[in-house]
Structure 1
Amino acid sequence: MRKLIATAALAAGTASPALAATGPFFSLRNTDFVVLLGFLLFLAVLAYFKVPQVLNKLLDKRSDDIRSELDEARGLREEAQKLLASYERKQKDVQVQAEGIVAAAKADAEKAAAQAKLDLDASIKRRLAAAEDQITSAQASAVKEVRDRAAEVAVAAARDVIAQQTSAADKNRMIDESISEVGAKLH
C-alpha cells in the first residue's frame, strides 16, 4: 500500500493541477483548452444526433399530456361541482319534504287528539244518558213495585174490611154479580 501511495505522489508531483493551465492556450497540454474542445465536441454530437429536437418533442409531448390532464381535471371538477349542486338541491328538497311531513303529522296528531276528545265526550254523554235511563227505569220500576204493593195491601185491607162488614147473603150476591159481569164481558 505504501508503494501505491509513493507512486501516486511521484506522478502527481510532475503534473500538478496548478501547472496544467499554464502555457499557450491552443495547446493539448492546456487543460482549459482540452475541456473547451471536449465541450464543443459534446455539443456537436448532440446536434448531430438531433438531441435538442428530440428533447423538444418529448417536452412538447409532456406539455400536451399535462395540458390534457389539466383539461380533464377541469372537466371533472365542473362535473363534481354540478353533482354537488344537484345533491345540495336534492337535500334541500328532501328537507322541505321532511318538514312538510312533520307538519302534516303534527296536524294529523292534533286532529286525532281533537277527534279523540270529541269521541270521549260523546262516549261520556252516552254513558251518562244510559245511566240516567237506568236510574229512570229503576225509579219507574220502584214506583210500580210500590204501587203494586200498595194496591195489594189496599186490596187485602179492603178484603179484610169487607169480609168483616159483609154478611153471607151480600157475599153470595156479589159473587153472582161478578160471575154475570165476567160472562157478559167474555161474550
Structure 2
Amino acid sequence: MDTFWVGVALVIFLAILVKFGVPGAIVKALDARGEKVAQELAEARRLRQEAEKLLAEYDAKRKAAEAEAAEIVSSANEEAKRLAAEAEVKLADFVARRTKAAEEKIAQAESQAEAEVRAAAAEAATKAAESILRGQMAGKAGEAAFAAGLNEVKAKLN
C-alpha cells in the first residue's frame, strides 16, 4: 500500500509539474543549451578555418622567405666569386707591374754600372796617357810642342 500512495503522490507531483509548465521549461532550457552548443561549435569551426588560413599564409611566407634567403646566399656566393676573380686579376696586374719596375731598376742599375765602368776606364786611360805624355814630353821636346800649340791657338784666335 505504501507503494500505491507513493505512485499516487508521484502522479500528482507530475501533474502539478505539467500544470505549471516545468517540462516545457526544461525542453526550452535544453533547446537553448543545444543552440548555445551549436553556436559554440560553429564558432569553433570558424576559428579553426581562420587558424588553417593563417597557417597556410605563414607557411607561404616562410617558403617565400626561405627562397629569398637561398637567392641571397646564391647572390652572395656569386659576388664573392666575382670579387675573388677581380682580386686575382688585380694581384696578377700588381705582380706584373712590380716585376716590370724591378726589371727597369735592374736595367737602370746595369746601365749606370756600365757607365761608371766606362768612366773609370776612361779616367784610367787618361791618367795613363797623361803619365806617358809627361814622360815623353819632358825637357826641350815638351817646350817645343807647347810653343807650337800656343802659336796654333793664337793663330786661330786672330
Q: Do these two structures clear the TM 0.5 threshold for a shared fold by scoring above it? A: yes
The answer to whether structure 1 residue 43 and structure 2 residue 14 are counterparts is: yes
Kindly state the Cα deviation for residue 115 of structure 1 after the two structures are TM-superposed: 1.2
Separation in structure 2 between the aligned mates of residue 180 and residue 72 of structure 1, nearest angstrom: 136
Q: Shift of residue 176 of structure 1? A: 5.8
- Give the corresponding residue for 1:58: 29
Residues 1:99 and 2:70 aligned together: yes
Distance 1:173 1:68, change over 3 A: farther
Partner of 2:144: 169
Q: What does residue 103 of structure 2 align with? A: 132
Partner residue, 2:122: 151
1:119 deviates by 1.3
Give 2:53's aligned residue: 82
Q: How far apart are residue 32 of structure 1 and its match?
A: 2.3
- Unaligned runs of 5+ residues in structure 1 are 1-29
Q: Which amino acid aligns with 1:31?
A: D
How many angstroms apart in 2 are the aligned matches of 1:98 and 1:81? 25
Aligned equivalents of 2:106, 2:151: Cα separation in 1: 46
Q: Please say which structure displays the higher CA radius of gyration.
A: 1
Cα pair distance change 1:177/1:135, threshold 3 Å: farther
The residue identity in structure 2 corresponding to 1:62 is R
In structure 2, which of residues 5, 28, 41 is the aligned counterpart of residue 70 of structure 1? 41
Q: Which runs of 5+ in 2 are unaligned?
A: none
Deviation string 1:115-153 (CA, Å, 9 cap, x unpaired) is 111111111111111110110010010001001111111
Structure whose residues are more often helix by fraction: 2
TM-score, normalised relative to structure 1: 0.76
Local SS of the residue matching 1:102: helix
Q: Deviations over 1:47-93 (max 9, x none)?
A: 01101111111111111111111111111101100100000000000
Give the superposed CA RMSD: 2.0
Shift of 1:169: 2.0
